[in-house]
Chains A and B, each alone.
Chain A
Amino acid sequence: MRMSAVLGKPDMKRDSRNEITMKIAVPLFGDRVSPHFGASSQILMIETRDGKIFHKARIDTGAQDPGEITRRLVSSGVDQLVCGGIHRVYRQWLTRSGVRVLDNQKGPAEALVIKMIESGSKKRR
């Protein structure tokens, strides 16, 4: 899936100031994208407003179970998951719950998200 197909869509969430907001989750392997969804102990949460990062945090998954992590992502209102390998059952689960999944990614997590946001902003202009 290309990032341009992900960001800037008309169904994006908007906040009270009518700005597009987005919550992106990246399971971590150190500072990199975790290669195996469900095996990472930390997730990078990045929130954007109108294509700019306004909040980021590392949170402990507190679980080693991909089903439990999926539940938490869905319940915490994540819009997009950026990950390495993900079992297709969990990918379908997330997709059906309204979370866009960008899988088979690798490399430094934050840099990857920033690149994706910039790419999405350019597309919207």
Chain B
Amino acid sequence: METKKGHTANSSSAPISVFCDITSAVRSPCCTILENISDGVFTIDSEKRITSFNRAAEIITGFNQSETIGQYCFDVFRADICEKNCALDLTLSSQKPQINLLARIISKNGDPKPIRLSTSILRNEKSNAIGAVETFRDVSELEALRRRADRRFTSEDIVGQHPKMNEIISFLPDIAESGSAVLIEGPTGSGKELIARAIHQLSLRKNKPFIAVNCAALPDSLLESELFGYVRGAFTGATQNKPGRFQLAHKGTLFLDEISNTSLNFQADLLRVLEEGRITPLGGTQAVGVDVRIVAASNAEMGRLIQEGKIRQDLYYRLNVVKINLPALRERKQDIPLLMDHFIRQFNLRKERDIQGVSAEVLAFLMDHPFPGNVRELENIIEFAFIACKGPVIDLAHLPRELVEGRSTVPDYLPEDDRMEAEKILMMLARYPNNRSDVARVLGISRTTLWRKMKKYGFLDTGNET
């Protein structure tokens, strides 16, 4: 962009330098290219005032070109590196490019956006430096994927504009700040762990561990040793001391998922720890102090479980300092298109695809679907569609057959993690009804493992167990 090599119309000898002034009011072919690329591009003069601002830059920053021309670049770009590590300053002073730096900008409407940026010096036809150019691209989706891989969700990962969700999101910093115990109630797949992690990330404990425990996944005896740890010799096989999750979460947050699935005996032990702030590992005699913030979650209404005698009232009051009720997806249908777009963007990146969206029929169908599995079910449907769909648009034919035909046979009693796995297997079985090898291949497991899991979830007919 600095100086473009080209040929004059009547040139027959060596190429000559042709300066393309992208800051000129007169549009050149170069400007047309800049207006049609997906990377944001802007140029500045030697005083760091913006001289050009392309369309992608408008989209990423939220500022119109007319608002930016003549303004200082930092007042528009608003990156966290502007004050102490400005890439354009480095380029202007050293006359050297800066390549692929990571920064965070804040868009006009307050959206934080991670970007990758590069800068280079801008020269005129006499090779004199007249300013600098910066190119940048929004890497929000990549960063979201990275957070997902690391399971370090923040409030930015909560997708939704329904008033109930907005209220929850806006209340999160206050909840995080309080340091109090939090109880999250919400149906399976509604995002309870996402909320718990967002609270942790906003809290003073954010640089300390976030430890998640699915209480329903472990029997009582194992749950106690997992949470409280054990000392060597506590039981057969306890060959060395092992710290419990409470100790691992010291100074951080302990997320107790599906707390409602624990026994009353375990609840009594847990209550004692919460009240005393000390744990005694199994087989041990010395109590150890722990400073842990508890965030508990339940997919059943805890108040009702108290009436049924399944939850200790005193534990409930201990946990229920702050309560968050997450709505089911069917109660916030306006978020379905947003979530669909979100998952399509994520799967496009993860699977290196370029699916543009869903057909009107699919949108209408999903808007009418009750989503018993909530956001996770929608995510699974989109993931399945990515396997079935080979073109740019997801159609009804690409959705799981049992979904379109109104059948769902995933047992209700399964814990959340198992439900998610069972739903995936069911979708793939519907997609490849006569070929379990394909199902196993798509799921990334062996045929034997597939058979074992089908048996576990009750997907095998009695005469079909080979």
Contact = CB atoms under 8 A, between A and B. Distances in A.
Interface in B162-184: 169-174, 177
Counting contact residues on chain B (CB < 8 A from A), the size range is: 20 to 34
Interface string B139-179: 00000000000000001000000000000011111100100
B15 interface: no
A68 B296 CA distance: 25
Interface string A34-55: 1111111100000000000000
B75 interface: yes
A104 B83 contact: no
A87 B83 contact: no
A77 interface: no
Contact of B108 (A39, A67, A104): A104
B110 A103 contact: yes
A84 to B, nearest CB: 6
Contacts of A106: 71-72, 75
Contacts of B111: 87-88
Given A88-B110, A89-B155, A35 B172 contact: no
Interface string B202-240: 101010000000000000000000000000000000000
Contact of A39 (B76, B82, B172, B206): B82
Contacts of B404: none
B174 A84 contact: no
B80 interface: yes
B82 A89 contact: no
B109 to A, nearest CB: 8
Given A29-B82, A84-B78, A89 B106 contact: no
26 contacts: A32-B75, A35-B75, A35-B76, A35-B79, A35-B82, A36-B83, A36-B104, A36-B106, A39-B79, A39-B82, A39-B83, A39-B84, A41-B83, A70-B173, A85-B106, A87-B106, A87-B111, A89-B173, A92-B169, A92-B170, A92-B173, A93-B173, A93-B177, A96-B171, A96-B173, A106-B71
Interface of B: 71-72, 74-84, 104-112, 155, 169-174, 177, 202, 204, 206
Interface pairs A-B: 8 shortest CB-CB:
A85-B106, A93-B173, A88-B110, A85-B78, A106-B75, A35-B78, A39-B80, A92-B170
Given A36-B80, A36-B104, A96-B171, 17 more contacts: A35-B78, A35-B79, A35-B82, A41-B83, A70-B173, A85-B105, A85-B106, A86-B106, A89-B169, A89-B172, A89-B173, A89-B202, A93-B173, A96-B170, A96-B173, A96-B174, A106-B71
